[in-house]
Structure 1
Amino acid sequence: MSVAGGPGRGVLVHEWIAQAGGSENVFEAMNDIYPDADLVCLWNDSTGRFNEEQLKQTWLSRTPLRRSKALALPFMPATWRRLAYEDYEWALISSHLFAHHARFVGQPAGFRRYVYVHTPARYIWSPELDGRGNSLAARTVAAALKPIDRRRAQEPASYAANSAFVRTRIQDAWGVEAQVIFPPVEVEAIQGVEDWRTRLTEAEQEQLDGLPDGFVLGASRFIPYKRLDVVIRTAEAAGRPVVLAGKGPELENLQAVAREASVPVQFVHAPSGPMLWALYQRTSLYVFPAVEDFGIMPVEAMAAGAPVLAQSVGGTAESVVPGETGALVPFRSRAEMAEGAEAAMATVREARLNRARDFSRRRFEERITGWVGAA
C-alpha cells in the first residue's frame, strides 16, 4: 500500500475488465489510489490499462466462456468463492453483478471487505430497468440466484453505493445499509482545456465545424435503454437540430428514426475523448433520457459548461440541479420536453461548472481513502 497511513496490504476486485466503461473507470481510479494492491478479475479484455504483473484472472479467462457473459454467468458465483489468498488484509471490491460474493480461500478472521456497488445486478433485481431481465429464461435464473445473492451480500462487509438511488436498491434487494460515494468524473481534465476544438485532429475539427449551430446533443452507447430516439423527439419539441455521438447496435434503428425526424439529425461515430468534450462545449443542450444508476456523462457535460436535460428518475436526479444546472423531466410528453429544454438552457454556465466539481476524481479519492482507511 502506498497511501500514507493506509490499511495494510490489499487487493482490488472487479467483475470483468472491458476495454472501456464506467465501472472500469472507477476501478482504474481505485488502482490509482492503491497502486501497490493486487488486482483480481474474472477476465481482462483491456490492453495496457492495468499492470499485468499485478493482475490475476480466474479460470474463466482461459475458456471460451469469457466471450459470452450470459453463458459464463452460472459459473460466476462459485468462481468468486475460490479466490487465491496471498496474505491480504483487506479487499476493495467493485461490483455490478457477483463480485461482492468474493471470498479468498484461507482468508483469516478479521479480513476486511469494502464493497463499492455500481448496482445490484439489474437483470436479476430490477428487470424493469434492464430488458435483459424480461425473458422467461432470465426470470427463471433470477429466481434461483436471488437467495444466493442476498445471502452473500449479508456476509461481513462495509458497503458503499454510487448514488442514493442505488443505495435504496441495495437495501431493498440485499437488506444491507450502504453509504453513498459518487463515482469519479474527469472534471479536472475537462475543465483543464478552455477550448477542446484546439486538441482535435484536422479531420475532427472539420467534422465539428460542419455541425449546425444550436444543436441538441445525445451522446452514449447506442443501445436500447439509453433511449437516444427520445433525444431526437426532444430536439423536435425544441425545434433544434440534433447530433448523436457514440456507437452500438442501435445505430440502424436510430438512423431510421432520424430519417423521419422533422429536424436535421447528424451522427458522430465513436468520438474520441477530446471530440466528445468539444461536443459538450459546443452544444446548446445535452439530453440524457436514460434511467441510470448514477450517470457520468451528464456530469461531464456540466463540467464542459453544457446545460443538461436529464431523466427525473435515477442517479441523474442527484447530480443535475433543476433551475441551476439544467432540468429534470420524465420524458413522457412533447410539452414537458419543450419546457424542460427551455428551462435547462436558461441556466447559467458558471453554476454548471461549479456543480460538476462536486463529482471530481479528487473528491472520490478523498471519500474512498476515508472509507477504507477508517477501519
Structure 2
Amino acid sequence: MAGLIAHEWIAQHGGSENVLAAMVEAYPDAEIHTLWNDAPERFAQARVTESWLARTRLRHHKALALPFMSSAWSRVDTSEADFVLASSHVFAHHVGGRKFDDDVEKFVYVHTPMRTVYAADQDSRGMSLPVRMAAGLVRYSDRRFVNTSVHYAANSHYIRERIDKVWGQQSRVIHPPVDTSTIRSSRLALIGAEEAQSTLLPRDFILGASRFVPYKRLDLVIAVAERLRLPAVIAGRGPQRDDLVRIAEDASVPVFVIEGPSNAMLHHLYRRASTFVFPAVEDFGIMPLEAMAAGTPVVVGAEGGAREGVEAVHGGVVADAVTIDALAAAVHEARDLDLAGVPDRVDELFGTERFVSELRHWVEGR
C-alpha cells in the first residue's frame, strides 16, 4: 500500500521517532511528510518531504513556528495516497486540511493531544503567559480538524481518556514499540569516553534518565537517592542540565550526571542499575519498559501512562505518591522483586514486531 505518513518533525533522538521508524517498517513504500528533518541519515532509504517551514529560520524555533504549523500541514496534498497515517503530538493530524478527501482513509496515531494547551499542568511550557493567552484559540482551532470520519489510536489508555475528554473522539490503544531485541542482545558496545566513564560508576546505584526538563523530576530521583543513601546516575540532555549538575554537586551521596548518552551507554546503564526511577507524569513512558527489558526493576508514579507497562509485565512498583518517602519505599520494594520472565513479557507485549502487527491490523483490517 502506497501511503503517506505525517510526522511532526524528525529529530535524531526521540520516542516518537522510534514510532515513525516502526511505521516505515510496516509501510516501506509510504512517503514521509514532516515539517522539517534534522536527522536525514535516520530515514535515508525513505522518501521524506519537508514543509516550507524547513526553508526558514523557524525550523530551529518550535515555539515561534507553532502559529504556522497547522497551515503547513493543511497544504499537504493527500489526494494520491492510498491512506494517510499521522503520528501526532502537536498538529500533524491536521495533514490534508479540514476538507480532507473522503476517498482517502485517514488514521491518526496520537502520542497526546498537544500537552501545552490540553494538559498545561503537566508541562511548565504551558504555564507561560503567551501560551496561556493563546491556549483557548489554539484549542478551538485544533478541534475543528477533529471528526468522526478519522480513525484514532492512542499510545496508552491514559491518552485514550484524554482524547475522549478534549476531542470527544473514541480511539483504540496501540502501545508504542520498544526495541527489545537491541536492548537484550547487548550488541551495542561502549567506545571511547563512554567506556572510560562506565568504569567510574559505582557497583550499586539508582538510575534516572530522560530529557533534562523540569517536569521529568530528575531532581526528585537525586533526593530519593539521598534518602536511601545510595549513589545515583542521571542521564539525558536538555535545558535543565546546569540546574541538575548543581543539585548533584550539593547532594549528600555520589551523583553522576551523564550528558547525551548514546544508545549503547543508555542500555549499559539500564543493565547496571539496581533500580530505574521514573517519577514523571508521562503519556506512556518508553524508558521504564526499556529498563525492564534489560532486567532492571522500575519505580513509576501512579498518574500517567507509565504504570500501564509496569502493571502489564509485573516488572516494577507503582509508588503511592510522587514524594521522596513514597518513591524511596517503592525502591525498597522493587529491589526485592524477582524479574525472571519480565524481559520476555516486555518483548511479547510491547516489542516492535507486536507494534507493526497491530498497526497493520488497524490500517488494513477494516
For normalisation by structure 2, the TM-score amounts to 0.95
Asked if the contact 1:324–1:351 (Cα under 8 Å) also holds between the matched residues in 2, the reply is no
Alignment deviations for residues 253-296 of structure 1 (CA, whole Å, 9 cap, x no partner):
11211122121111222111111111111111111111100111
Does the residue aligned with 1:139 lie in a helix, a strand or coil? helix
Instruction: Name whichever of 37-46 and 47-56 sits farther off.
Output: 47-56
Q: What amino acid is the match of 1:369?
A: R
Does the residue aligned with 1:153 lie in a helix, a strand or coil? coil
Q: What amino acid is the match of 1:201?
A: I
Alignment deviations for residues 124-156 of structure 1 (CA, whole Å, 9 cap, x no partner):
111001111112210121110112211211252
Cα gap change, 1:109/1:206 in structure 2, threshold over 3 Å: closer, same or farther? closer
1:152 maps to 2:142: no
Shift of residue 328, structure 1, vs aligned partner: 1.2
1:233 maps to 2:226: no
Cα gap change, 1:266/1:81 in structure 2, threshold over 3 Å: closer, same or farther? same
- Map 1:83-232 onto structure 2 (within 5 A): 83-85=76-78, 87-103=80-96, 108-154=101-147, 156-193=149-186, 199-201=189-191, 203-232=193-222
Within 1, Cα distance between the matches of 2:147 and 2:58?
28
Shift of residue 228, structure 1, vs aligned partner: 0.5
Cα gap change, 1:156/1:164 in structure 2, threshold over 3 Å: closer, same or farther? same
Instruction: Name whichever of 326-335 and 236-245 sits farther off.
Output: 326-335
Within 2, Cα distance between the matches of 1:323 and 1:101?
35
Does the residue aligned with 1:173 lie in a helix, a strand or coil? helix
Within 2, Cα distance between the matches of 1:330 and 1:158?
35
Q: What amino acid is the match of 1:270?
A: G
> Which residue matches 1:277?
267
> Which residue matches 2:291?
301
Does the residue aligned with 1:147 lie in a helix, a strand or coil? helix
> Which residue matches 1:6?
none
Q: 1:65 aligns with which of 54, 58, 61?
A: 58
Does the residue aligned with 2:340 lie in a helix, a strand or coil? helix
1:329 maps to 2:319: yes
Asked if the contact 1:185–1:300 (Cα under 8 Å) also holds between the matched residues in 2, the reply is yes
Q: What amino acid is the match of 1:122?
A: R
> Which residue matches 1:34?
27
Q: How many residues align?
A: 365
Within 2, Cα distance between the matches of 1:302 and 1:62?
41
Asked if the contact 1:123–1:138 (Cα under 8 Å) also holds between the matched residues in 2, the reply is yes
Cα gap change, 1:286/1:105 in structure 2, threshold over 3 Å: closer, same or farther? closer
Shift of residue 113, structure 1, vs aligned partner: 0.3
Within 1, Cα distance between the matches of 2:78 and 2:89?
22
Alignment deviations for residues 164-198 of structure 1 (CA, whole Å, 9 cap, x no partner):
000000001100001000000111111123xx6x8
1:371 maps to 2:362: yes
Q: 1:268 aligns with which of 241, 248, 258?
A: 258
Asked if the contact 1:237–1:337 (Cα under 8 Å) also holds between the matched residues in 2, the reply is no
Q: 1:79 aligns with which of 59, 62, 72?
A: 72
Cα gap change, 1:219/1:301 in structure 2, threshold over 3 Å: closer, same or farther? same
Cα gap change, 1:311/1:333 in structure 2, threshold over 3 Å: closer, same or farther? closer
Within 1, Cα distance between the matches of 2:226 and 2:165?
38
Cα gap change, 1:35/1:124 in structure 2, threshold over 3 Å: closer, same or farther? same
Does the residue aligned with 2:361 lie in a helix, a strand or coil? helix
Does the residue aligned with 1:83 lie in a helix, a strand or coil? coil
Asked if the contact 2:314–2:342 (Cα under 8 Å) also holds between the matched residues in 1, the reply is yes
Q: What amino acid is the match of 1:161?
A: A
| Identity value in percent | 44
> Which residue matches 1:362?
353
Cα gap change, 1:227/1:106 in structure 2, threshold over 3 Å: closer, same or farther? closer
> Which residue matches 2:40?
47
Structure 1: tracts of 5 or more residues without a match: 2-8
Asked if the contact 1:285–1:308 (Cα under 8 Å) also holds between the matched residues in 2, the reply is yes
Q: What amino acid is the match of 1:129?
A: Q
Within 2, Cα distance between the matches of 1:76 and 1:202?
40
Alignment deviations for residues 61-92 of structure 1 (CA, whole Å, 9 cap, x no partner):
11112121111111112222221235212101
Q: 1:247 aligns with which of 212, 233, 237?
A: 237
Within 1, Cα distance between the matches of 2:281 and 2:86?
24
Asked if the contact 1:289–1:331 (Cα under 8 Å) also holds between the matched residues in 2, the reply is no
Within 2, Cα distance between the matches of 1:299 and 1:35?
26
For normalisation by structure 1, the TM-score amounts to 0.92
Does the residue aligned with 1:320 lie in a helix, a strand or coil? helix
Structure 2: tracts of 5 or more residues without a match: none
Within 2, Cα distance between the matches of 1:367 and 1:317?
21
Asked if the contact 2:79–2:101 (Cα under 8 Å) also holds between the matched residues in 1, the reply is no
Within 2, Cα distance between the matches of 1:40 and 1:47?
13
Asked if the contact 1:247–1:270 (Cα under 8 Å) also holds between the matched residues in 2, the reply is yes
